[in-house]
Chains A and B, each alone.
Chain A
């Protein structure tokens, strides 16, 4: 039994090593540097408001879309932060911890994805690539996975779903099954949520199609 564990640990040594490095760089000085950005502070305080009163800053009961100085925001970020505010209290660390956690999970996901691609070439690629992936984040620990850019949650959901889909497509008879079910995989929650999370970023295309100045569609209520 113990030997089995030893074998498993040895087999996944590089993954464990990379995850440990990732954990260190993502959690080191998490709440201290860089200083909290305005939008992060708003997310933290709003999450506490949701926890204590079930209302957002405008007094709306558990809204599915939030307002901010720069437009509407999707709710994932706030609701995902709320449990950590409950655990750690309202502080900088609690606000950034969930996204750091997502960052740590991304190492695992990316590694699995690489293994899938490079299995037939050699696992050295997976190791090098994971190493390169982790090293830059030593210097950019202040962004992407540490705070602020919640676009990363969309990325992580896609990263989670990709290896699963790659395995899924290897199953025999899957194409026929997809045809019968009218490509129902597009209704997958991880994918649709990731797309929704990404949509939080305002797009020029959306502005062109749907806005006051749009020449394609002019909503009547604008």
Chain B
């Protein structure tokens, strides 16, 4: 003891600079989608050795064989120090073992998987790896919860965390779904063709069994406004009903009906049945198209904690996409409305082509064939 005392001063300045080096970290990447958990957990082999003793032959080298021989011990030890909850405990299991290197040496890579009792609501995480043995150990967590990412450092004082609905990612979720909405209307040719079929005659008027251009831009614009608004209102209703799980229709029926709606809208341009109240057509078929959007949204998955917000974002996105199409279409169509190019080329030929394509879609979808699309 005396000797230690004498050494105290000596030792202290020996590391007076107090170098910081690499203390112990584990790297935990967790992905939770609904009730499904997948994770990768990199734990330093030195740390596992310190906790469990891996170096069986005592030669200061850990081999792959020595690690593999203790796989079940390592798994049991690690899993007893990590708990995830979502409406209850999510039991985890080690589905694979690999190795990797980080800046301070070799790591065991544990691949984890598990299921939570609930698919919605807050996610609880309790981390306590090594804290009983090494209080400077930290867990570097990267959690993706229903698409939203959280990064944090887990320490003995912050090992228990809640992630969930009130996190500050609402705006991100909203804008993410907004972009998805825009994207979907842009790649959804059936929706675009339907809309265009209804818009093509907006700059024309059926007069004496012939189409001719409207006189004023305002007339065309009002027509477009009516059509687009009713289409929007209709598909918003069914999209919301379907997304909230209140109504559901078989997707084959929905997709076929959408194709049929395009066929009928284009046919109506060639053999007008409905000339005045196209907004009613837009509304009626818009209901069908809403179910189509809903199936896309179902594939994306709606975050449980921001359901309405995401739905609103997606809807608005679809609107923005439509508006962009209208804004591009209307001025050009109005300018060209009295030309042969518009009346014959775009209006008649375009409607024929649209009808043809949509008819093929209808056959494909109704009979589950592959005719056009790759």
A in complex with B: no
